[in-house]
Structure 1
Amino acid sequence: MAGLRPREKAGCRQLLEQLDTADLVSLTETVTNRMIQVFGREEALDAILVYSASATELLKRRKVHRDIIFKYLATQQISVLPSSDKNQLIQHAIEYWKDPVKNPKLSSKPQAKTEDKSHLGSLDCQLLGEQFCKWFYQLLNSQNPMLGHEKGDWGPQHFWENAVLKFSYSTTEENMEEYNGAQMTSLRLLALTREERLVFNPNVDSKGLKCVTSPHGLVVVAVAGTIHRNNLWLGIFEQIFGLIRCPIGENWKIRFVNLKVFGQNTTGSVDSPPMPSIQYKTNELEVFYS
């Protein structure tokens, strides 16, 4: 039995505090198969957390109602749709309890000072970009059934309602698509991995990632990488995100996505993938502020 990690234990304890004592005792009997007798709330909480095989299993118990999970997420300032079902709320909680790098609730606190007066806090902006890219592509790639990974909580909740996706791809000819709204943007990106079986491999080193931030708080993240399917590399991509922080909490949501895909036959390198890099200069990325 794997058990709960420390962050999961702390979160589940806070969440279960909403249950009354009778429900906690009943839940203890279910989790321990009536092998443990408890006296009082604290003993019940301890037994539940110790004997639960996983956080997901615990949250799926009937005594842990949807409203309890929803209220917990609200206290943590995690934005979720009121219409979300219990399984969706569970995924939000599980993602929140993961390691900070994997958590979409990215840090916005400055990590160090920089001498670049034109973009104060650019070092922190770069860190946010790295964290965002690791989270985003891990989540998107997890939707690819060929990888066999546990699917993360992909969906329109990570985008602003007026989000825009501009998607262009060059193979034998150039094609352009545009989608408006969180739902359509989310579904089109999802189709790339779930239906088309693509895997995105971003290059998040200093040459493959560049970030700038506007005076009004919009963060522009530009990243380059390679695209694969099974054991084949198909081409390279450039993707630009516009991120805006939620007014409640520290979550960041995606305002726009510009994705350019270049097929293998257009890169000039057929046998092995080139090292993708971002060619945009700072002033060129600033154009995306408007």
Structure 2
Amino acid sequence: MSGLSDRQRVGFGKILNLLSEVDLLSLCDTVTNKLILVENITEATETILSFTKNAEELLKRKKVHRDLIFKYLAEEGVVMPSNSEKHQLVKRALDLWSPGKAVFDAEVQPEMDDTESDSANVKAEAGFDAQVLGQQFCQWFFRVLNSQNPSLGKQPENWGPQHFWPDVKMRLLSRTGSDQMEEFDGAETVNLRLLALAREERLLLSPTLEPHGLKALVSTHGLVMVSVAGTIHRDGACLGIFEQIFGLISSPLENNSWKIKFVNLKIRGQDALGGTEVAAPALSYNSTDLQLELACGCSTVDGTFF
């Protein structure tokens, strides 16, 4: 009997799919001590998953090369530094698969019908954990946004204005040599501007999902505010860091799916960092700042940068 969770089985299925047939069959022999004879790669994959008792143990197998885990994480929207060691990638994959209290089917079912809204799978539940929902929302959001980047060479996932409220507002503050503030109103406009970051500008945004890089709070009226920091990459190079605040409100007319009410994105380029470490940036917003914004019900950051 397999000791893997459903989420781990899905993740491993994608990683094993990246293996050559020779390596996959060899791994199957190793995992089963050559006790099981398989006839094709489908049987080999299922046998490996069935005989694996521990996710970390399988990730550490020699045939599960560092580059495979790196590529898998990138395809899931988790862009790690190009010089990351295997043990760091293993830990990140295990974190990605860690269970949470919020329901987020899009994370374990990324191949969805184009007519179906992924965000409809994030459900509001009594007593839900805002921090867990924030983490799973960010895993979904950045994976789907990054999938629009042609440099990943993967099929773009379901992205569009349906994930935003019609009156959504967005502010984009960038410091890449000179300061520039852009403001956008409406679901279609905000959707297209974020899409351009990935598709035209070919940026990959890698969020820091650990507590020092992500905070989430919920108001008594149901607004969830999620703040996340991370690094920005293009073609394997780290360009700088970002910090982003989302305001999320569930829609009772759409099966209580969470939709984005406002977005505040701040980008700081490498040239403006002055040699600051950017591998895993921490949030500049503290809980008090977020409580103030939550009380206002909107993003009120005045543009102060980190």
Quickly name the TM-score band, shorter chain normalised. 0.5 to 0.7
Match of 2:122 among 76, 89, 106: 106
> Counterpart in 2 of 1:281?
286
> Counterpart in 2 of 1:150?
155
Q: Is the 8 A contact 1:161 1:182 kept in 2?
A: yes
Match of 1:192 among 189, 194, 197: 197
Q: Is the 8 A contact 1:236 1:262 kept in 2?
A: yes
Specify whether residues 201 and 237 from structure 1 end up closer, same or farther in structure 2 by C-alpha distance, changes over 3 A only.
same
> Counterpart in 2 of 1:41?
none
Q: Is the 8 A contact 2:148 2:195 kept in 1?
A: yes
| Letter of the 1:267 counterpart | L
> Counterpart in 2 of 1:220?
225
**How far, CA to CA, are the matches of 1:139 and 1:104 in structure 2?**
14
Residue 258, structure 1, aligned to residue 274, structure 2: no
Match of 2:140 among 107, 131, 135: 135
C-alpha displacement at 1:146, in angstroms? 1.0
Q: Is the 8 A contact 2:168 2:260 kept in 1?
A: yes
| Letter of the 2:268 counterpart | F
Is the deviation greater in 175-184 or in 244-253? 244-253
> Counterpart in 1 of 2:114?
91
**How far, CA to CA, are the matches of 1:223 and 1:193 in structure 2?**
18
Q: Is the 8 A contact 1:104 1:132 kept in 2?
A: no
C-alpha displacement at 1:250, in angstroms? 2.5
Flag the structure with larger Rg.
1
Give the number of aligned pairs.
184
> Counterpart in 2 of 1:230?
235
**How far, CA to CA, are the matches of 1:217 and 1:162 in structure 2?**
17
> Counterpart in 2 of 1:178?
183
Q: Is the 8 A contact 2:149 2:203 kept in 1?
A: yes
What TM-score does the superposition give when structure 1 sets the normalisation length?
0.60
Q: Please, what is the CA RMSD of the aligned residues?
A: 2.0
Deviation digits for residues 132-163 of structure 1 (CA, Å, limit 9, x no counterpart): 00000000000001111111111100000000
Deviation digits for residues 191-210 of structure 1 (CA, Å, limit 9, x no counterpart): 00000000000000010000
| Letter of the 2:260 counterpart | I
> Counterpart in 2 of 1:267?
273
| Letter of the 1:205 counterpart | E
- Unaligned runs of 5+ residues in structure 2 are 1-5, 7-111, 297-306
Q: Is the 8 A contact 1:108 1:128 kept in 2?
A: no
**How far, CA to CA, are the matches of 1:105 and 1:288 in structure 2?**
26
- Unaligned runs of 5+ residues in structure 1 are 1-5, 7-88, 97-102, 111-120
**How far, CA to CA, are the matches of 1:151 and 1:274 in structure 2?**
26
C-alpha displacement at 1:104, in angstroms? 5.1
Task: Look up the SS of the partner of 1:127 in the other structure.
Answer: helix
**How far, CA to CA, are the matches of 2:267 and 2:189 in structure 1?**
19
